[in-house]
Amino acid sequence: MHPTEHMSEQLDNPHSQRPDIDWFAGRRRYRHDGADVDGSMNVVQTNVDVIVVGGGLAGLVVAAELADAGKRVMLLEGQSKLGGQALWSLGGLFLVNTPEQRRLGITDSVDLALADWLASAEFNGGANDAWARRWAQSYVEAAATDLSPWLRSMGVSFFPLVQWAERGGGPADGPGNSMPRFHVVWGTGPGLLEPFLRRVETRQAENLIDVRVAHRVEELVMDGGRVAGCLLHNTVDERSHAVHADAVVIATGGIGANHELVRRWWPDTLRDAPADMLQGVPDHVDGSGLLTAQQAGAHVTNIDRMWNYPEGIAHHTPVWNAHAVRVLAGPGSLWLDARGRRLPPPLYPGVDTLRALRHLTTTGSPHSWLLCNHRIAAAELRLSGSVHNPDLTNRSIVQLLKRALPRPAEPIQAFIDRGLDIVTADDPHTLVARMNALVGDDLIDEHELRRQVLAYDRQAASGFGNDAQLAAISTARRYLPDRLMRTAGNQQILDPSARPLIAIRMRAFTRKSLGGLQTDLSSRVLQADGTALPGLYAAGEVAGFGGGGVHGHRSLEGTFLGGCLHTGLRAARGIQTDMS
**pLDDT above 50 for 37:** no
- Going by C-alpha positions, the residue among 304, 348, 331 that lies closest to residue 491 is 331
**pLDDT above 50 for 30:** no
Q: Residue range 522-542: average pLDDT?
A: 98
Q: Is residue 97 part of a domain?
A: no
Burial string for 34-59 (b: 16+ CB within 10 Å, else e) reads: beeeeeeeebeebebbbbbbbbbbbb
The percentage of the chain sitting over the pLDDT mark of 90, rounded to a whole number, equals 86
Of the listed ranges 100-114, 482-496, 558-572, the one predicted with least confidence: 482-496
**pLDDT above 70 for 7:** no
**pLDDT above 60 for 9:** no
CATH for 435? 3.90.700.10
Give residue 46's pLDDT. Answer: 73
Condensed to tens digits (0 to 9), the pLDDT of residues 371-426 reads: 999 999 999 999 999 999 999 999 999 999 999 999 999 999 999 999 799 999 99
Assess whether 409 and 546 both reside in one domain: no
Residue range of the domain that includes 217: 3-90+188-252+287-305+514-579
Q: Residue range 99-125: average pLDDT?
A: 97
Q: Is residue 119 part of a domain?
A: no
Q: Is residue 278 part of a domain?
A: no
Condensed to tens digits (0 to 9), the pLDDT of residues 293-306 reads: 999 999 999 999 99
Q: Which residues contact 515 (CB under 8 A, 6 or more apart)?
A: 14, 300, 301, 302, 303, 304, 305, 306, 544, 548, 549
Assess whether 480 and 524 both reside in one domain: no
Q: Residue range 434-439: average pLDDT?
A: 97
Assess whether 364 and 465 both reside in one domain: yes
Give residue 10's pLDDT. Answer: 55
Q: Is residue 150 part of a domain?
A: no
Assess whether 532 and 477 both reside in one domain: no
Q: Which of 485, 509, 533 is the last residue before a domain boundary?
A: 509
Q: Which residues contact 282 (CB under 8 A, 6 or more apart)?
A: 79, 85, 88, 257, 319, 320
Q: Measured between alpha carbons, how far is residue 474 from residues 227, 239, 263, 346, 465 in Å?
A: 57, 62, 39, 14, 12
Condensed to tens digits (0 to 9), the pLDDT of residues 40-97 reads: 344 455 789 999 999 999 999 999 999 999 999 999 999 999 999 999 999 999 999 9
CATH for 201? 3.50.50.60
**pLDDT above 80 for 216:** yes
Assess whether 13 and 61 both reside in one domain: yes
Q: Is residue 282 part of a domain?
A: no
Q: Which of 509, 542, 561 is the last residue before a domain boundary?
A: 509
Give residue 26's pLDDT. Answer: 33
Assess whether 487 and 385 both reside in one domain: yes
Assess whether 489 and 372 both reside in one domain: yes
Q: Measured between alpha carbons, how far is residue 202 from residues 57, 399, 409 in Å?
A: 17, 32, 38
Q: Residue range 245-265: average pLDDT?
A: 96
Rounded Cα–Cα distance for residues 316 and 480 (Å): 33
Q: Which residues contact 158 (CB under 8 A, 6 or more apart)?
A: 93, 98, 100, 183, 184, 185, 186
Q: Is 349:486 a contact under the CB 8 Å cutoff? A: no
Assess whether 465 and 405 both reside in one domain: yes
Assess whether 334 and 409 both reside in one domain: yes
Confidence of residue 272 (pLDDT cuts 50, 70, 90): confident
Of the listed ranges 9-18, 436-445, 527-536, the one predicted with least confidence: 9-18
Assess whether 65 and 26 both reside in one domain: yes
Q: Residue range 117-131: average pLDDT?
A: 94
Q: Residue range 15-31: average pLDDT?
A: 31
Give residue 535's pLDDT. Answer: 98
For the chain, give the mean pLDDT. 91
**pLDDT above 60 for 557:** yes
User: What domain count does the chain have?
Assistant: 2
Q: Residue range 496-522: average pLDDT?
A: 97
Q: Residue range 24-40: average pLDDT?
A: 34
Q: Residue range 266-276: average pLDDT?
A: 87
Q: Is residue 135 part of a domain?
A: no
Q: Is residue 540 part of a domain?
A: yes
Condensed to tens digits (0 to 9), the pLDDT of residues 355-365 reads: 999 999 998 88
Burial string for 289-314 (b: 16+ CB within 10 Å, else e) reads: bbbbbbbbbbbbbbbbbbbbbbbbbb
Q: Is residue 37 part of a domain?
A: yes
> Model-level pTM?
0.93
Phi, psi of 312 (to 5 degrees): -95, 145
Assess whether 330 and 246 both reside in one domain: no
Helix H or strand E encompassing 140? helix 127-144
Q: Which of 494, 509, 524 is the last residue before a domain boundary?
A: 509
Condensed to tens digits (0 to 9), the pLDDT of residues 142-200 reads: 999 999 999 999 999 999 999 999 999 889 999 999 999 999 999 999 999 999 999 99
Assess whether 27 and 72 both reside in one domain: yes
**pLDDT above 70 for 263:** yes
**pLDDT above 90 for 38:** no
**pLDDT above 80 for 11:** no
